[in-house]
Amino acid sequence: MAESRERMTELVSMQNLFWRGTSIAITGITGSLGTALSKELLKPEYNISRLVGISRKWQDQDRLREELGDDRLRLFVGDVRDIDRLRLALEGVEYVFHAAALKSVPIAFYNPTEAISINITGTINVLQASRDVGVRRVVVVSSDKAVQPASENLYGVTKAAAECLAVAYNSYSAGKPTRYCAARWGNVLGSSGSVVPLFMKQRENGKLTITHDKMTRFWVTMPEIVHFILKVMESMIGGEIFVPHLPSSRVTTLASVIAPQAELETVGMRPGEKMHEILLSPEESPRTKDLGWAYRVEPTSRPWGGVPYSGGSPVPNDWIYSSASAERLGENELRILLRG
């Protein structure tokens, strides 16, 4: 009951104070996260004034416009590599969620220049355009693959760079109101490009392909991530990297839940893949605090100044937050997560 009252207090604060009357932008709005985030923010209880979306495909924008059916939605056909277009789209916006990215490990590996131009140059453009037009807060969406990326995982390398940029840009806006942070998490069950849709398609043929029988991954549902990233936007003061508390499982356990009768075929690890993913490295542990709802990785220095970080408990030195050792989900827990 006490937890319910606390959650209700947070909800009232969030809906009636922080978000009320604000103008928000989402890059990559037609992706899985952008779509889910849009649906949540356009609920009446948030009472936002405008939602700006930026993405490249007008066909997907037509689908989203019809799906949402809200006059507050303003969609710009544009590319994060076009900073002038970003400045136009972000004019008058207070909060930005930067979700646009080339997210596939194998696609990034075979298209390295595109991965760099979208995920790194595109992020620079979003951060700079936000500073130029006076956006108040920017959350850069990252990934567990940003932590100690494998040598052939260019996607992870670009996300690590995006995190560095999100922290460093606070110095560039020291005399301005714009502040930046990053949020990293693991695999979102059912999102585009995740293994769940692949397994569901493959089970029709009675055979699922896995890369290694000991591989583990962090798992999270889309509703959980939507509420997490909203909390990040509310809580940030600039320069942090936020990481949620996530469970993990073997990929074979997920396969058994989705298609218990199917045959499992081991096809080998792809370029850039790791056996286990990491959400927090040992090097980050001395500057990481457990906030209860998330971990906060603080920067080594803050030349931009500002109010100090507060709250949270230190994590053990040299601690590693790995899918190999995180809280392990069984088949029943995975079934519940898959139901959403």
Q: Which residues are catalytic, by number? A: 145
Which one, of 340, 163, 133, 126, lies nearest residue 243 by Cα?
A: 163
DSSP character string of 200-244: HHHGGGTEEEES-TT-EEEEE-HHHHHHHHHHHHHH--SS-EEEE
- Stretch (H or E) spanning 302: none
DSSP character string of 54-111: EES-HHHHHHHHHHH--TTEEEEE--TT-HHHHHHHHTT--EEEE------HHHHHH-
User: For the chain, what's the residue count?
Assistant: 340
Residue 2 tokens read as 């006490």
Token pair 């942070």: residue: 181
Q: Please give the C-alpha separations between residue 220 and each of 159, 184, 226, in angstroms, as whole numbers.
A: 19, 12, 10
Q: In one letter, which amino acid is 279?
A: L
Which one, of 313, 302, 323, lies nearest residue 240 by Cα?
A: 302
Contact 229, 142 (CB under 8 A): no
Contact 235, 292 (CB under 8 A): no
Q: In one letter, which amino acid is 16?
A: N
Residue 32, sorted as left (phi over 0), alpha (psi -120 to 50) or beta, turns out to be alpha
Which one, of 275, 269, 256, lies nearest residue 325 by Cα?
A: 275
